Amino acid sequence: MHSHGFKVFAFCASLIWVASLTLYAGTASAAQDEKQGATTDAAVVAIGAVVSSLVFGDTADDASTQKEAKPAGSMDQLKESLGEKSLESLQALTDCNHSQAFNYARQASASGNSDYALSGLWLEALTEADRKNWFEAKAYFPKIRARDSDIHSQADYDAALNKALKEIASARQEHGPASECKR
């Protein structure tokens, strides 16, 4: 009789031990996922600030020549200022999912909202440049120049594009696993 009681006790103890390990692993995994999500959000917001500066102008220059600057301090602010499709494009670009980033950017560029459309065009160009498709990225110059009052020449466009790419790499390095996407 004692041996049967001990077996039941050992079995119950084993179940409790397995359940506590599973709970701990689930909690640790959830905490890691939450940390990963916060890191990804921080990278998206940082890269969103880059795109916002392209769309609305840098705030460091003379305010009289700037478009109305809109902050990019949170995911909600990005969604409001750049649009939902641009935010989805930013998230995909942050994760180096260029195909998805380009598709969302293309949808944003078709928006009736001029700010959303311009952010979509910049995201299309940045996505092409980020995946080293320089010819395709340069082809966006006429479309962007037509909509962006800060872009007057190919040199302006190239400088803005290169500066944005450096800032994107820096944001990825600071908030994510790598500054460059693997090919």
Nearest Cα to Cα of residue 107 among 133, 88, 127, 129 = 88
- Of all helices (H) and strands (E), which one includes residue 151? none
Coil, helix or strand at residue 179: coil
Residue 64 in this model has a pLDDT that exceeds 60: no
Residue 17 in this model has a pLDDT that exceeds 80: no
Residue ranges of domains in the chain, CATH in brackets: 40-175 (1.25.40)
Q: Max Cα separation, the chain? A: 91
Residue 106: what pLDDT?
97
pLDDT band with cut points at 50, 70 and 90 for residue 19: very low
131-176 per-position pLDDT tens digit: 999 999 999 999 999 999 999 999 999 999 999 999 999 998 888 7
Nearest Cα to Cα of residue 44 among 36, 55, 32, 33 = 36
Residue scoring higher pLDDT (78 or 179): 78
Whether residue 27 contacts residue 55, with contact meaning beta carbons closer than 8 Å, is answered with no
Residue 3: what pLDDT?
58
The region of weakest confidence among 14-18, 122-126, 151-155 is 14-18
Residue scoring higher pLDDT (78 or 17): 78
Residue 34: what pLDDT?
38
92-110 per-position pLDDT tens digit: 999 899 999 999 999 999 9
